[in-house]
Chains A and B, each alone.
Chain A
Amino acid sequence: MWDVCDEDVDILCGLHDMKNNGLMLLSCLNIVIVCCMACSRSPAVRRWLLVDIFTALKHTYVQMWAYKNTVEYPQQHTPRSPHFRGLLALRRYESGEERCIACRLCEVTCPAVAITIESTVENEKRVATRFDIDAFKCIHCGLCQEACPVDAIVLTQQEHVVYDTRGDNILTKEVLLGFGDVYAPHQAACESEI
């Protein structure tokens, strides 16, 4: 099995005389006929010659070497607007006093009814005792940000948020103020851009 070489197989199968002129003629005829058919405009001929399929193949091959717009996320990011509506946050003034005056404009305007507010008056100032946003209900429309008269509630640029304990999705006032403290400088920078 290992020592049968090309010439031996040739002779064994009596193939030496099989490379005959009739087949050469057929080959030439084939090539000539295909070339003539390729020049034809008849739709039937084009269908039999699979011209449209070859057009599709050529197009795909060209596309294979074309420039790819792939953005290698997360190593690369697509550009993002300063208006991007990400995670919610409650802001403070420069002095550290919280901005929210519990006017409930955001609660009223929220289309998803995600905000719940309860307030009291302390030190002649109205303050929210309960400011809950259900993050699962929030649709990040930004209407609360537009409605707020003191720029307390804002939507930051942060998009990667994970809630791994049941109940974490209810963002309380402390959590929102915490977000605000973390994202405050960035928010101020974005505000100056807007």
Chain B
Amino acid sequence: MNLTHGFLLMGYACCIIIGVLISVAYLTTAERKILGWMQGRRGPNSVGFGGMLQPLADGIKFIYKECIIPTHANTILFRLAPLMVVVPGWLMWAIVPIAPGVVFADIPLGILWILAMGGLASLGILCAGWASHSVYALLGGMRAVSQMIAYGVGLSLSLMSVVIVSGSMNLSAIVASQSGGIWHWWVWPLLPVCCVFWIASIAETHRNPFDVVEGESELVAGYHVEYSGMGFALFFIAEYGAMYLSALWMSLLFFGGWHSPFSNIIFLDAVTSWIPGSVWLLMKVVFWVFVYIWVRASLPRYRYDQIMYVGWRVLVPVALLWIPIVSFFMVCLGELS
């Protein structure tokens, strides 16, 4: 590892961090505009051309706000908690491959990294809820953590199916195993597992319809009710970054990653082969992020016991059941012709 290589890596890391920050900022505006349009109104459209400078205004607002720490709050934990939530989220970006061979850290256990970082984030939320010394925050934190654990199990099991069919935990390898055409994508043999993964992702990021954590009508803002200014902004960044990451996992693990849906189709392949893989990945990620917002605009919130029921008694059995099914088809019927 020479110095040039080190500087290249640092540059790549800076690009990732800055890119994530800007994307997250614009995602907040995109969400507000899309939610608005779906609700029969227009979103923010005064700041900048059509509302495009709204993230700048929001950012300035966050920086100006005073970071109030409640009197009896555990100061160290209170200040640390947003970092504990945000840093694992950003660390997950390290393994994201955007093109064949272009990845910051091509570790052989990418799936394990995803699950580990997700688990760390729930610890941060627990700290935030507990350190705020507020009943609303504590309840919100407890709900969040139990929800994340429940759906984390479903997530892990669905990822196991992906690992089984693709034969590797390395994300680049999983994407490479989906080459050769849209019928090779893992969504088709793993259709229920893909649904489980998607629903579990929505629940892991506390998005509607699983957002009792921040159910405004009940808990005001859940575990981040006592946070203001940049502390709150960090939680926001963590949540929206996790949205992007979930969309990325969907695209990479189930929908072919950077492979074109038209590859190996007679006429369309020639017509669209000039589009680079990263663009296909980008389009898929944009689509799934749009689905995140679309679902938020459409569905009412699940009750807390319904969330627990769905997590443990629907998603986990489906994901668990699919592992032997897919293994059977792959191993026993694999040699059929």
Contact = CB atoms under 8 A, between A and B. Distances in A.
Contact of B167 (A5, A14, A66): A14
Interface string A28-67: 0011001000000000000000100100110111011110
Most chain B CB inside 10 Å of its own CB: which residue of A15, A23, A63: A23
Interface residues of A, number: 39
Contacts of A60: 38, 294, 297-298
Given A22-B333, A26-B189, A60-B294, A1 B103 contact: yes
Interface stretch (B17-25, B171-179, B280-288): B171-179
Interface string B287-315: 00000001101110000000000000000
Given A18-B166, A20-B335, A23-B189, A68 B37 contact: yes
A73 B299 CA distance: 30
A69 B168 contact: no
Interface in B93-144: 100-103, 106
B42 A70 contact: yes
Contacts of A68: 37, 40-42
A9 B100 CA distance: 9
Contact of B40 (A22, A24, A61, A69): A69
Interface stretch (B220-228, B244-252, B324-332): B324-332
Interface string A56-95: 1101110111101110000000000000000000000000
5 contacts: A1-B101, A23-B334, A24-B189, A27-B188, A61-B294
A189 interface: no
B38 A22 contact: no
A20 B330 CA distance: 7
Residue among A27, A53, A56 with max Cβ neighbours from chain B (10 Å)? A27
A30 B191 contact: yes
A34 to B, nearest CB: 7
Given A23-B329, A30-B189, A66-B40, A15 B298 contact: no
B176 A23 contact: no
Contacts of A15: 166-168, 173, 176-177
Contacts of B333: 21-22, 25
Given A9-B100, A21-B334, A22-B332, A57 B176 contact: no
Contacts of A56: 298-299
Contacts of A194: none
A161 interface: no
B34 A10 contact: no
Interface string B27-38: 000000010011
A162 interface: no
Given A15-B168, A64-B38, 16 more contacts: A5-B101, A9-B173, A10-B177, A15-B166, A15-B176, A15-B177, A18-B166, A19-B177, A20-B330, A22-B336, A25-B333, A30-B188, A61-B294, A63-B38, A64-B34, A65-B37
Contacts, number: 118
Contacts of B336: 21-22, 25
B103 to A, nearest CB: 7
Contact of A13 (B170, B189, B298, B335): B170
A4 B106 contact: yes
B100 A13 contact: no
B183 interface: yes
Q: Which 8 A-B pairs have the closest CB atoms?
A: A27-B188, A22-B333, A20-B334, A22-B334, A26-B329, A22-B329, A60-B298, A9-B176
B165 interface: yes
A23 B162 CA distance: 12
A4 B329 contact: no
Contacts of A65: 37
Contacts of A26: 188-189, 325-326, 329-330
Nearest to A56: B298
B22 to A, nearest CB: 25
A2 B330 CA distance: 32
A3 interface: yes
Question: Among A6, A65, A70, which residue has the most Cβ atoms of chain B within 10 A?
Answer: A6
Contacts of A2: 101-102
Interface in B26-79: 34, 37-42
B172 A4 contact: yes
A18 B176 CA distance: 11
Contacts of B299: 53, 56
Contacts of B189: 23-24, 26-27, 30
A61 B329 CA distance: 37
